[in-house]
Structure 1
């Protein structure tokens, strides 16, 4: 009995040595571990996309916070602007009060200078000093007022004398006894004046008897 060909049993069978270390040389083989049947590395898993509802809610929260912070900043800015205006206004008032207090002490001196000028005594060095003083107080805002013929105004005039005159049609300052002084809109001292009013109308008497409209007498009894 003839035995079959020994090589026929392994026909189509291929044997590959995939060992990493060569048993004969003891060295690492090139390309070891990269077999044809080795599966490629798996791709990293993708992160799931956030849900649309969650994203819109976060955006709405950010918008609300931004609006709140903006409103806070606007409120702080308005409060600071009001604070600056109030401080500036108070500073102006304090300055005016201080200047008015100082200028008020100079009014008697200015009155003496005016009387000396009226009497022709304002000459020499005294005249120069007086002019310098008047110029200085004018720069600080002090102004005089009160002129003969001005209508009488009790808010800025002080009547020291009173009379009647046919030459006026309303209460009028006919003489300035002392000039008034004001600092801006503030009156430091009212002008002291003599006031004349229109002449009083003559008092008319009423007639008597029949002219006064007496009732007629009753007829005599028969």
Structure 2
């Protein structure tokens, strides 16, 4: 089989396009030096790109490992506090409650230091990108669409949400319950 680049021993005779077929056409000779230089540069560029890709993959893996270690280390004091609470489980129940509250505060502090503060507060407008409505409740003292209770807090930062807050939201009163009477645009069908 003839070699692709035309450098093989049978390249001139196996490839009819490379054979001499008339006056002014010569048989394949040595490769043009300019072509060899371009080929060499292309091969070097491909090798450099491959090396850069491998270096970037190594750097990324090292950064991920370092970040995992940093986050795990941030949680160690919380784990220590939980171990201490379990060790004193037979103590005064009031002290246990206080200890658990302190551990909870430690955990919230770790999340905040990692850039993930609490999401969802009573009185703020419902935002479907940050809240998950679990309940709609009648609450005449606040405008419709306002968070009236946080069922489960969410956590996130400015650009990344770990989990949305599960909330109860104030809804608009039913037409028959509105102080101005039923909605005139709505017909009753008796059912």
TM-score (norm: length of structure 2): 0.46
TM-score (norm: length of structure 1): 0.41
**Which structure has the larger Rg?**
1
